[in-house]
Amino acid sequence: MKQFFYIVFGGLALVIVGLFCVRVGVAVKSLKPVQVAKPVEEEDKVNTTYYLWSEATTTIGAKAFMVMNVDDGSTLVSKAGDTLMPVASLTKLVTAIIAKQHLDGETRITISQKTLDTYGNSAGFVNGEVFTADDLLYPLLMVSSNDAAEALATTYGRKEFIKAMNDFTQSIGAYHTYFVDPAGLSAGSVSTAHDLAIILKWIYTNQPGLLDITTEKIKIMRSHTWVNPTHFLSWSYFLGGKNGYTPEANRTGASIFKFSSTTPAYAVVVLGSQSRDSDVVSLVQQIRKENDK
């Protein structure tokens, strides 16, 4: 009889132990693997890099900004990079592209009174003056002439020109960009910091001559002298770019910098800034620190 009880209780004990082991096994499988801590020196390096970028960007007042490596398209740092905002005269970068693509450079363009009635910078044009399409790229990009933008667009057909601008941005992947005028006067001409970096990358790769125009300090053409107001012209690593301002957009900037033949080129875009130049300087200084490591 005792032997019978030993067998029964022994069997029950084995069953209970077995069930317990199964339950523990399931629980162990459900646990997430424990991550092995990084060596202190590696951890410090990662945190230091992150801190430097954070420290640099806290001083930037622009509502949106982006730094892109235009050699490979990678983003170094971004704030509100996909936020749609008015871009002011950065519009003229695309105006210049479309003018080069759709107008023969020797096309003769007469400055009309209607063109002169455009709000803002006229570049000193006089009613009846004649320029070539290529001539007008200088006041367009150097002194941000709204009249030059309108003259180029009107020559092609203003509605068709603006459509070509929008078709172009879609074709290169700047999907959030939309223009309603060729000068950027309207708050309806909008883009994002990311899209503008894409546009700069395209210009750098396909139409670098447009960037060259933006680095010229002075251009004399007949009775006109156009002086470029950009503050980065004395920097050897400034490859070109464009600034803009309207009350709705505040100060905007899109530029490319390259520090040496062995470093990539970088697109730096700031939108909605109260102090555009100091924002750009902060970003450029940080890029240089990263390249010096």
Active site (catalytic) residues: 89, 92, 144
Written as one string, the DSSP assignment of 181-243 is SSSS-STT-EE-HHHHHHHHHHHHHH-HHHHHHHT-SEEEETTEEEE---TTTT-TTEEEEEE
**What are residue 67's DSSP bridge partners?**
77, 268
Return the amino acid letter for 184: G
Pick from 184, 172, 155, 178: which is nearest to 92 by CA? 184
Between CA 137 and CA 198 the distance in angstroms is 21
Residues 6+ apart with CB under 8 A from 11: none
Residues 6+ apart with CB under 8 A from 17: none
- For residues 118 and 92, the answer to whether their CB atoms sit within 8 Å is no
Distances (CA, A) of 289 to 55, 221, 235, 285: 13, 41, 17, 6
Between CA 134 and CA 103 the distance in angstroms is 9
